[in-house]
Structure 1
Amino acid sequence: MSSEPVVIDGVLHLTIATAAAGTSLDFDLIDAGTAALGSLDAEIGAVLVTGAGANFCAGGNVRHFADAEDRGAFLHDLATRLHDFVRALADAPVPVVAAVHGWAAGAGMSLVCAADIAIGGPSTKLRPAYPGIGLTPDGGMSWTLPRIVGVSRAREILLTDAVIGAEQAQQLGLLSRLVADDEVRTEALRVATGFTTGPRAAYTAMKKLLAQSPSATLDQQLDAERDSIAAAANTSTGREGVDAFVAKRKPDYRKVD
């Protein structure tokens, strides 16, 4: 498995951690991922985020934290780089799929929360991990987690440093679905690849609607949905989808602009 960002069959593969240093977050890969996300082209229809090793990501490398001469400055730099990556994921106009095998702890859990779809297995476990080392969340967890599980449950998870098993994670909405442990990467790739032949313009518009909905009133969201579906109807993607339905054929979104 390549660790550097690579595009295969329309899917941008981003590795965030490797077996080195116990599958802790690899910031060279994070920086490379941010750069790749900032230069997406029409070839890319989805993003797949994964870890190479026993875990999706075990969080930051705490030994590096301890070795830093100025720990505050060191963590400030790492959080800035991580947050650039999270912003790039949020801004991606295509679906982001995470293959969550093994542990997703600390920043690893934050990146699970940042994905559009997260696939896990029976052995998948999530944990904030910040209280255990006397630190506070990064990677957007204090923003995404309450929006996924609710404010009260997010408080409990963060403050008690809860270990969340696979079934509970799925029930809470942290994981989208569960498959066999040895099928997590395969299923996540299958889902990501499926998006590459789908209505990309519609996916982009859907992500925009979902992103703005937490801060919008119902009236504002209804107006946004009205304007979005009207705009979609006049795009080549929308025309192909409707025309294919009427003709009783499968739409071919690959031929649209």
Structure 2
Amino acid sequence: MAGEPTDLVLSERREGYRVLTLNRPDRLNAFTGAMHEALRAALDDAVADETCRALLLTGAGRGFCAGQDLSERRGGEGRAVDLSQTLDQYYNPLIRRLRDLPMPVVCAVNGVAAGAGANLALACDIVLAARSATFLQAFARLGLVPDAGGTWVLPRLVGRARARGLALLAEPLAAETAEAWGMIWRVHDDAVLMDEAHRLAARLATQPTAGLRLIRDALDASETNDLDRQLDLERDLQGRAGRTPDYREGVAAFLEKRPPRFTGGAS
């Protein structure tokens, strides 16, 4: 069931997956503490649901997420604000949670993704974007450092030179350029973005969920492992994957020349 229109994060159950929608369209879905809490609760609820095997994250209205709502971060006259507390309390746990979910996450960027909103999108497993969407590392405009994992993910996605340009110049990047640079998976025309995102989430929800999680673990570890460590990790993860019911089902379906019926269970 969809959440009420006043909810800060709408949660909608679909067959095999959930749609989580950031819902402050009048503020381009900029984050407040309350919206962080709502998203945390929605993620908890999805993980507790054994029938949920994928997530689709998007934003209501004309934007995905404009990052932090700065009206919550004003200091009094002559008083500084400790932004590190915001990261410790909200953004860092959110990014860690997304990277550690037991299911794949599709992000549909339906408009501007700025600041922490851009890096929230890039923390997801597969990012789709509307052709009109833009990505903006807005932090330098405020004298700040990219956060929500931005300084980690950008060099790995687009390389050192492009990451520095995006961070230091704080210029918007068109979705088609983001796709060409390998920052996101695919661009779609605005009118079909959500249809394509739903199609992808529904597909992932029928796949071997435990195996997909192990693939993600291996790819994440490869960022810092040398080849020997990565080969050892592949060995260990493959051993775990081979003990899952989905592996047995995949082999049986291949030999019997039929579509597999994966259940998503771990070993």
- Tell me if 1:45 matches 2:53: yes
- Tell me if 1:238 matches 2:233: no
- Tell me if 1:14 matches 2:23: no
> 2:6 maps to what in 1?
none
Report the Cα offset of residue 67 of structure 1: 5.7
Residue pair 2:106, 2:128 contacting (<8 A) in 1 also: yes
- Tell me if 1:31 matches 2:37: yes
Look up the SS of the partner of 2:127 in the other structure: strand
Matched AA of 1:222 = L
Matched AA of 2:35 = L
Report the Cα offset of residue 230 of structure 1: 3.0
TM-score by structure 1 length? 0.91
**Using the alignment, how far apart are the partners of 2:72 and 2:59 within structure 1?**
19
> 1:253 maps to what in 2?
262
**CA 1:136/1:255 → structure 2, altered by over 3 Å: closer, same or farther?**
closer
**CA 1:178/1:68 → structure 2, altered by over 3 Å: closer, same or farther?**
farther
What is the identity percentage for the equivalent residue pairs of Structure 1 and Structure 2? 35
Alignment of 1:65-214 (within 5 A): 65-66=73-74, 71-73=80-82, 75-80=83-88, 81-214=90-223
1:135-178 alpha-carbon deviations (Å, 9 max, x no partner)? 22111101111111112221111011121111110012222101
**Using the alignment, how far apart are the partners of 1:29 and 1:48 within structure 2?**
17
1:106-132 alpha-carbon deviations (Å, 9 max, x no partner)? 011111210110111210111101111
Any stretches of 5+ residues in structure 2 without a counterpart?
4-8
Report the Cα offset of residue 34 of structure 1: 2.1
Report the Cα offset of residue 221 of structure 1: 0.9
Corresponding residue to 1:62 among 67, 70, 79: 70
Q: Which has the higher helix share?
A: 1
**Segments ≥4 residues shifted beyond 4 Å:** 67-71
**Using the alignment, how far apart are the partners of 1:225 and 1:255 within structure 2?**
20
How many equivalent pairs are there?
Answer: 256
1:191-220 alpha-carbon deviations (Å, 9 max, x no partner)? 112111111111111111112111111111
Any stretches of 5+ residues in structure 1 without a counterpart?
none
CA RMSD of aligned residues (A): 2.0
